[in-house]
Amino acid sequence: MTTRGDAIAAQGLRKRYRERYALDGFDLRVPQGTVCGLLGPNGAGKTTSVRILSTLLRLDEGRAEVAGFDVTNQPDQVRYRIGLVGQHPALDEALSGRQNLVLFGRLFHLGRRRARQRAAELLERFGLADAAEQPVSTYSGGMRRRLDLAAGMILAPAVLFLDEPTTGLDPRGRNEVWESVRELVRTGTTVLLTTQHLDEADQLADRISVVEAGRVIAEGTPDDLKTRLGGDRIEVVVAAPTDLAVAVAEVRRAVDDEPTVDVDRRMVSVRVGHRAGALVDVLRALDAVNVPVADVALRRPTLDDVFLHLTGDRAPTAEVVA
């Protein structure tokens, strides 16, 4: 079933816990050397799918191949070719950073000497050489994550699973992790990344699969998904609240679509087809009726918009239909 060049190929995965399907017909293909972002709310099935693909969980139905091997029938072959970085760093807190990497290297059967060499190499690469002899319990959150990533990279795996890799990190720690992930991708590793943070998916992923209720409900590049939502919007903020009604009428006429109004922010926003042309039309129309404009913006929908649109939640913003 694997197309040549797919690092991950999952078809019809189902996983049941008691009465509930955590995965219910989950399909996913990740081409080699790309970063796929699995995006979805809590409980959507992101972690379950990663746990199945990394051989931690048995699947009830379906088939999955990772790095060319079947997760059910050839788990050890898969395990030699993957790295897993979970939601919390899985490290021995009492041991030093170096001891952790040597331990995992030996458990990957590199032997003592090569495990030590590899540990030294990774500590250097992940900027942990100075803290190598300190126990992990003294590390900062970002340092733990980097060590965790390093442990996942010991055999330079073909596929790396990152399950919400920046949970609980401050912005600095998050940037450190993002930078490390980008470096890994440059060496050709395929990455499957789960995240609830849309900017994280936008920053790192080549393609995004939106997961809800145990299946993938939409798939594409970040730009694809944004475009599918209906293109760009123009947002006009008028100077005086009393001008709002006039502005709405003018904008509606100018672009021939129903705008939405945010009264508190004195903002009229509308979906547009031709970005620049529509912008000029709207500003001209407002100028013609002497409505002063405080601010105007042309913006693409964010992944937030895409996400809320796809998962059916209503945006909790102050958008009020005029």
Partner 1 sequence: MSAVSMPAPAVDLTPGRPALLADSGTLIWRNLARWRRDPGPLIASLGFNILIVLMFAYLFGGALQVPGGGSYREFLMPGMFVMTMVFGISLTTVAVAEDLERGVTDRLRSMPVSPLAPLAARAVADMLFALVTLGVLLLTGLAIGWRAHGGAAATLAAVGLILLLRFALIWVGIFLGLVTRGQTAVVAVQTLEFPLGFLSNAFVAPSTMPAWLGAVAAWNPLSATVGATRELFGNPGWGGDSWAAQHYPWLAVLWPLVLVAVFLPLSVLRYRRLAD
What residues make contact with partner 1 under the rule CB under 8 A? Answer: 33, 54-58, 76, 79-80, 82, 84, 86-96, 99, 103-104, 106-111, 114, 117-118, 121, 125, 135, 151, 154-156, 183-184, 186-188
- The DSSP output letter for 242 is G
Q: What residues contact residue 20 under an 8 Å CB cut-off, 6+ apart? A: none
Nearer to partner 1, 57 or 237 (CB): 57
Q: Look at residues 3, 38, 66 and name the one whose alpha carbon lies nearest to residue 215.
A: 38
Pairing label, strands 207-212, 35-39: parallel
Nearer to partner 1, 11 or 77 (CB): 77
Question: Around Cβ 116, how many Cβ atoms within 10 Å?
Answer: 16
Nearer to partner 1, 93 or 295 (CB): 93
**Shortest approach of partner 1 to residue 53 CB, angstroms?**
10
What's the rounded Cα separation, in Å, for the pair 265 and 237?
Answer: 7
Which 3 state secondary structure label does DSSP give 245? helix
**Shortest approach of partner 1 to residue 250 CB, angstroms?**
50
- The DSSP output letter for 136 is G
Nearer to partner 1, 40 or 86 (CB): 86
DSSP calls for 199-221: HHHHHH-SEEEEEETTEEEEEE-
Q: Look at residues 174, 175, 160, 173 and name the one whose alpha carbon lies nearest to residue 50.
A: 160
On the CB side of 116, CA atoms within 13 Å amount to 2
Nearer to partner 1, 91 or 238 (CB): 91
What's the rounded Cα separation, in Å, for the pair 34 and 5?
Answer: 10
**Shortest approach of partner 1 to residue 101 CB, angstroms?**
12
**Shortest approach of partner 1 to residue 165 CB, angstroms?**
13
**Shortest approach of partner 1 to residue 58 CB, angstroms?**
5
**Shortest approach of partner 1 to residue 276 CB, angstroms?**
34
Nearer to partner 1, 93 or 223 (CB): 93
DSSP calls for 41-104: -TTSSHHHHHHHHTTSS--SEEEEEETTEETTT-HHHHHTTEEEE-SS----TTSBHHHHHHHH
Determine the Cα angle at 182 with ends 176 and 184, to 5°. Answer: 105
Nearer to partner 1, 92 or 295 (CB): 92
**Shortest approach of partner 1 to residue 241 CB, angstroms?**
53
Nearer to partner 1, 86 or 141 (CB): 86
**Shortest approach of partner 1 to residue 167 CB, angstroms?**
12
